[in-house]
Amino acid sequence: MASDTSKQQGRPGPEMGHRPPLLSVRELGVALQTRGGNLQLTQNISFEVGAGERVGIVGESGCGKTVTGLALLRLLPARSMQVSGKILLDGTDLLRLPGRQMRAIRGRQVAMIFQEPMSALDPVFTIGQQIGEAIRAHFPVGAREARERAVDVLDRVGIPLPQRRHDEYPHQLSGGMRQRAMIAIALACQPRLLIADEPTTALDVTIQAQIIELLVKLSSEAGTALLFITHDLGVVAETCERVLTMYAGQVVEDAPVEDVLVRPRHPYTSALMRSLPNLSVPKSVLPSIPGRVPNALAMPAGCRFAPRCAHARPACGRAQDALPVGADHRVRCARFDELELPGTAA
């Protein structure tokens, strides 16, 4: 019964460090068109996800995590949102694909799951019908084979009595089972990248542990890369190999998880870690981050974190570029080299 969900089982060996990127995001930005003009919600987002790699995205709410995830799949409303930059999947820019080709990729190559499974599941179709539909959209299979595959994937995501659950409706399942069902739909076509937006936030810790174990297992068995959006650093630490910290629409740090937990280079990443209550002495005053994430209408001209940063200096009034810390670590802070910032282990 005692089992190990730690990252060891799916951790890349040294040889995997040079995997060619599956996904390469370059200067991605999302602008909201309003009557008052364009509002830049996210900007200059560049990162890569290797084949089979598990990457986390953390940050407070409103930092642009969801918008980024939706942009990758071109799920943002085209009428009101403008996406710029490049989203290269195996070298092909998704932003330039005709709608039909994009639909062929969505679900088949890249799939997405959300925090609230009820909003993604259709209440009038059975779980099995919804998985079958996903499969038949991409594979030329008959009803019988679709059913077999659907039952098989339900079984793989750990749903007991998959034959029976296949014919049940979403409302007949508990929250944890619905989340599994959504994962089943997403994984039915064996995508190469799964984008998971807060998939465990609404769940109990016990069920969260099950879902995390499942995602890590499925990702390492099938080589599915994972982009795991969450505000929970603990979830990232237990799931991912690399983590992007987002702040006010930008990626401010991109680093291997183990490195950043020990020594974050961006004051925001460090501050997020230090505000976790379980890392402080019980009853002590918790370190918090004064102020709030600025909104797109009032973005500071220089470093976006400066108004809340304990280490701000006049030089921080310039816009910050993403600077290399090492081969696989980048940070948007001019002072990164002089600062000794505490991580979770401090």
Ligand X SMILES: Nc1ncnc2c1ncn2[C@@H]1O[C@H](COP(=O)(O)OP(=O)(O)O)[C@@H](O)[C@H]1O
Question: Which residues form the interface with Mg ion (CB under 5 A)?
Answer: 66
Give the contact letters, 173-212, x = binds to other proteins (CB under 8 A), - = no.
-xxxx--------------------------xxxxxxx-x
Which stretch of DSSP H or E encloses residue 192? Answer: none
**How far, in Å, CA of 49 to CA of 22, rounded?**
6
Residue from 21, 26, 32, 299 in contact with ligand X (CB under 6 A): 32
Find the helix packing angle between 143-156 and 127-138, rounded to 10°: 110
* Nearer CB in complex with other proteins: 68/344: 344
59 part of the interface to ligand X, by CB under 6 A: yes
Going from the C-alpha of 225 to that of each of 117, 156, 258, 283, the distances in angstroms are: 21, 17, 18, 40
Q: Look at strands 225-229 and 54-58 and give their pairing.
A: parallel
Report the Cα–Cα distance between both ends of the chain, in Å, rounded.
32
User: 222 by DSSP, 3-state: which?
Assistant: helix
State which residue, 42 or 320, has the beta carbon closest to ligand SF4: 320
DSSP string, 42-69: EEEEEEEEETT-EEEEE--TTSSHHHHH
Q: Residue 79 interacts with other proteins (CB under 8 A)?
A: no
Give the shortest CB-119-to-other proteins separation in angstroms: 17
Residue 231 found at the interface with other proteins (CB under 8 A)? yes
CB 311 to ligand SF4: min, Å: 4
By the rule CB under 8 A, 328 interacts with other proteins: no
What is 83-98 written as a DSSP string?
EEEEEEETTEEGGGS-
Helices (H), 195-279: 205-222, 233-239, 257-262, 267-274
Residue 28 within binding range of ligand X, rule CB under 6 A: no
Nearest distance from C-beta of residue 318 to ligand X, angstroms: 23
Q: Which residues bind ligand SF4 (CB under 6 A)?
A: 267, 303, 305-306, 309, 311-312, 316, 320, 333-335
Q: Which residues bind other proteins (CB under 8 A)?
A: 1-8, 60-61, 174-177, 204-210, 212-213, 231-238, 258, 261-262, 271-273, 275-280, 282-283, 285-289, 292, 343-345
